[in-house]
Structure 1
Amino acid sequence: MRPRPPVKGRGIFTGTGLIIGCLTATLVALVFPLWSYADRSGTGVDVLNAQTVSTRYGPLSALDREFVTKVRLAGLWELPAGQEAQQKGTTQAVRTAGEHLIEGHLFLDERVRDVAAKLGLELPNEATEQQRQWLATLTAAQGVTYDRDFANILRLAHGKVFSVVAQVRASTRNSLVRSLADDANTTVLDHIRVLEATGYVDFDALAQDMAADSTPPITNSPAQPGLVADPSRVIPAMPSASPTYTLPPAVSNPPPAAPEAS
């Protein structure tokens, strides 16, 4: 009898089996990194989750808490800066900008203290060292030099915080912080407009400082004043009748012992 030809294998070593095996290996290689990296620390989502606490108003991130603190800090130095501008400003436009600073930060400080109390956050009662330096510079300046430094220092500071407000408003999941960001956005934009309406803002220097993230020009600014805006075009905000404006101390509330479920 003639011997039968050997039967071709039908296991995994057939041509079809090899193709399936290669495809399976490729799929595993693609999927495994997703599994392995999902639990690794250092990713943006991981950091966000690690620094976020639950509240009844929604998750509260580290950026949210920083924003609340910065709103309070802004009022601690911009309110006295606005009061000083009303007294030392040589043009009606500068004095009007001072009125808007007072009105805006009296409103925002009341809002931020309410938000902080509900979230159990502690707020500062003293401006930062840089903010105190800005105030000292404005206090020492006189005449047109004061007008120019006031407009440029405050405009640069508002430009920086404006981007922070936008970032918080776009990303926060906390309803209280979202509402505070809405109010801060409206107030900061109003202050930017009235500061620019003074005619003293050096936009070239401002763009360079914003790009370099440097401190504002606080002495011997080379900027020349432009045309002073017509004060009648700026709607003044009526400040309080009190001759001085001091923000009340922040209510310090320790964080809740156990975060409440969102």
Structure 2
Amino acid sequence: MRPRPPVKGRGIFTGTGLIITGLMATLFALIFPLWSYADRSGTGVDVLNAQTVSTQYGPLSALDRDFITKVRLAGLWELPAGQQAQYKGTTPAVRTAGQHLIEGHLFLDERVRDVAVKLGLELPDEPTDQQRQWLGIMDGAQGVDYDRQFANILRLAHGKVFSVVAEVRASTRNSLVRALADDANTTVLDHIKVLEATGYVDFDALARDMAMGDTPPITASPPPPVPLADPRPAVPVAPADPVTPSPSGSYPLPPAAASPPPQAPETS
């Protein structure tokens, strides 16, 4: 028999051609996302690198700097709140919680000021408007209502800070920030425990506000008033393992750090 002449024009539509075409399409699909994002700014690692500066203690990110500021701000309103609880709290448990706030934030404030000086960062000297509002709410409350407002406002605030501390501790590349996060974690957890030990924390309202991303004060209805003739027994609180405080008779605000901020690394 005469051999059949080759069929022209089949090209890529042969079996081998289809396989090769499919492999090339798959390879392109894998490579294209890498190419398409290579020159985009404002995403992922690009943002981290753009907002990070070099220091002798390791890279300092924007999250690290925000954390340092928040540690300072926490002391500027929680320390006065603890001092207030010493004379407005109606139970030993509330006054004990206040004492833990004082000791913890005297310690943390000394630590954060030292870190800020070494990193050349300025710190705020006053609490935020919202923090002043929380202090105002507690200042206007009396008796059992004060105890409830104190426990719930501060417990919710500490719960929100707790997650920030964990994020910083898990991600920071700066040794000073890492050590500060360790101290903050110990202090915040201690405060959470003594606030819960007052017996006034509304865990249902706390869970709702945390899920909704709300901020203090807790908006749940207050518990029934306690008759003065038959007060509830105080909730005993065993002192938790306290952080080492830096005792001080007063709380002077330090001047802003004057050290120059660390410089961003040069890019080629």
Matched residue, 1:230 = 236
Instruction: Please give the alpha-carbon distance, in whole angstroms, between the structure 2 residues aligned to 1:256 and 1:158.
Output: 30
Matched residue, 2:23 = 23
Q: List alignment gaps of at least 5 residues for structure 1.
A: none
> Residue deviations 1:24-64, cap 9 Å, x none?
24312321222222332242222222212222222211111
Instruction: Please give the alpha-carbon distance, in whole angstroms, between the structure 2 residues aligned to 1:49 and 1:257.
Output: 13
Structure 2 counterparts to residues 101-250 of structure 1, below 5 A: 101-217=101-217, 221-223=221-223, 228-231=234-237, 233-235=238-240, 243-250=249-256
Instruction: Please give the alpha-carbon distance, in whole angstroms, between the structure 2 residues aligned to 1:73 and 1:202.
Output: 25
Paired amino acid for 1:61: S
Instruction: Please give the alpha-carbon distance, in whole angstroms, between the structure 1 residues aligned to 2:119 and 2:245.
Output: 29
Does the CA-based 8 Å contact 2:94-2:198 persist in structure 1? yes
Q: Identity across aligned pairs (percent)? A: 75
**Are residues 1:40 and 2:40 paired?**
yes
Does the CA-based 8 Å contact 1:113-1:250 persist in structure 2? no
**Are residues 1:254 and 2:240 paired?**
no
Instruction: Please give the alpha-carbon distance, in whole angstroms, between the structure 1 residues aligned to 2:47 and 2:221.
Output: 41
TM-score (norm 2): 0.84
Please state how far the C-alpha of 1:202 moved relative to its aligned partner: 1.0
Paired amino acid for 1:31: I
Please state how far the C-alpha of 1:89 moved relative to its aligned partner: 1.2
Paired amino acid for 1:152: N
Instruction: Please give the alpha-carbon distance, in whole angstroms, between the structure 1 residues aligned to 2:189 and 2:256.
Output: 25
Instruction: Please give the alpha-carbon distance, in whole angstroms, between the structure 2 residues aligned to 1:89 and 1:229.
Output: 13
Instruction: Please give the alpha-carbon distance, in whole angstroms, between the structure 1 residues aligned to 2:102 and 2:122.
Output: 23
Q: List alignment gaps of at least 5 residues for structure 2.
A: 227-231
C-alpha RMSD of the superposition: 3.0
Please state how far the C-alpha of 1:22 moved relative to its aligned partner: 3.8
TM-score (norm 1): 0.86
Instruction: Please give the alpha-carbon distance, in whole angstroms, between the structure 2 residues aligned to 1:116 and 1:45.
Output: 25
> Residue deviations 1:114-164, cap 9 Å, x none?
111111111101100000111112122221111111111111110110011
Structure 1 residue matching 2:27: 3-state secondary structure: helix
Does the CA-based 8 Å contact 1:149-1:219 persist in structure 2? no
Paired amino acid for 2:235: A
Does the CA-based 8 Å contact 2:91-2:235 persist in structure 1? no
